């Protein structure tokens, strides 16, 4: 939150609780079945109250995020000296845009909300999948820890500057994104306005088509042993996950690629490195269940429970 809004939140109370509740409400709305989507005649009735809840949430988000933008504007005017010495956050970056790149307040609110809304659950879910794999594959965990020790040493904590040199750690993240993509159905939705044939398939007009990234990343014609967790495949071949290689594009591709991909990946890499540098991760008596549950993201059906033992 600090890199986006320039402030930390104590979740569970105050503004932290308010933000937490807004994110939860957003996911509840997106993940719930809305009958008016399938029966348009019911739309005007709003029987489930979905539209009413959306209007209320939009008002809350505009007030919350808009207030943060206004706080930044006031601080930039009244505390010039502090602003120059203070590390800029993402709100500052947006406010510094000029001329044709300058955003309206509504556009800034949309971008900032996207960073928070889609950057909270996906980071947590991806880290949970990675740690589940570390517990299940202790040899891979040990190899990653050995790499961290070799690059960083044991006298200091791993930092952002070390991450580019942790090649095997990057491979672990890529392999987890391949096997357990948080967004298995990418939001590259396209509406066919005419009847069309795509790849030998007939797509009638009015059809909404989406990209099934999960199917692509588990296709034997594309990946060798797709059901095996093998980070080494990404050591042997440096596959980009930023959208240029459609074999693995968990953040989308093109102009509508996820705007928070770089921040999300940086967070995952650093947190994973810190978790592995400081602790050895062991399974609980319940073991690890890799059953998947598709909500708004691809989550673990049964949350991971494991033991963290301090490393010597």
Extract the annotated binding site for heme. 258
Question: What are the phi and psi torsion angles at 288 (to 5°)?
Answer: -120, 125
Q: Name the helix (H) or strand (E) containing 292.
A: strand 292-294
Are the beta carbons of 8 and 2 closer than 8 angstroms?
yes
- Give the Cα separation of 91 and 94 in Å (integer): 5
- Give the Cα separation of 178 and 218 in Å (integer): 8
Are the beta carbons of 121 and 27 closer than 8 angstroms?
yes
**Residue located via tokens 């933008």:** 69
Q: Which long-range contacts (CB under 8 A, 24 or more apart) does 29-38 make?
A: 29/53, 29/54, 29/57, 30/296, 31/295, 31/296
Residues in the chain, total: 312
Question: What are the phi and psi torsion angles at 292 (to 5°)?
Answer: -100, 150
- Give the Cα separation of 302 and 312 in Å (integer): 31
Are the beta carbons of 99 and 56 closer than 8 angstroms?
no
Other beta carbons less than 10 A from residue 211's beta carbon: 19
Q: Which residues are annotated as a binding site?
A: 258
Q: Map residue 26 onto helix, strand or coil.
A: helix
């Amino acid at each position: 939150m600090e890199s986006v809004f320039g402030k930390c939140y104590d979740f569970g109370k105050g503004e932290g609780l308010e933000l937490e509740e807004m994110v939860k409400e957003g996911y509840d709305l997106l993940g719930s079945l809305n009958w008016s989507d399938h029966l348009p005649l019911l739309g005007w009735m709003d029987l489930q109250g979905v539209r009413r809840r959306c209007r209320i949430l939009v008002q809350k988000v505009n007030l919350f995020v808009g207030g943060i933008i206004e706080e930044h504007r006031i601080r930039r005017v009244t505390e010039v000296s502090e602003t120059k010495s203070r590390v800029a956050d993402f709100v500052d970056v947006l406010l510094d845009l000029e001329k044709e790149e300058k955003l309206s307040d509504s556009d800034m609110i949309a971008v900032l909300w996207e960073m928070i809304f889609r950057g909270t659950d996906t980071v947590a879910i991806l880290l949970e999948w990675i740690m589940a794999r570390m517990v299940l594959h202790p040899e891979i965990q040990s190899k990653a820890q050995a790499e961290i020790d070799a690059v960083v040493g044991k006298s200091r904590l791993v930092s952002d500057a070390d991450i580019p040199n942790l090649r095997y750690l990057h491979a672990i993240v890529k392999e987890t994104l391949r096997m357990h993509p948080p967004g298995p159905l990418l939001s590259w939705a396209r509406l066919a306005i005419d009847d069309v044939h795509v790849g030998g398939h007939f797509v009638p007009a009015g059809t909404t088509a989406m990209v099934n990234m999960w199917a692509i990343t588990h296709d034997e014609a594309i990946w060798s042993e797709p059901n095996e967790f093998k980070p080494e495949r990404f050591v042997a071949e440096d596959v980009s996950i930023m959208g240029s290689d459609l074999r693995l594009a968990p953040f989308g591709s093109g102009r509508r690629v996820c705007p928070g991909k770089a921040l999300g990946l940086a967070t995952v890499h650093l947190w994973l490195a810190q978790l592995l540098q400081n602790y050895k991760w062991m399974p609980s008596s319940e073991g690890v269940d890799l059953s998947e549950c598709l909500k708004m993201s691809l989550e673990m059906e049964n949350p991971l429970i494991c033991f963290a033992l301090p490393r010597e």
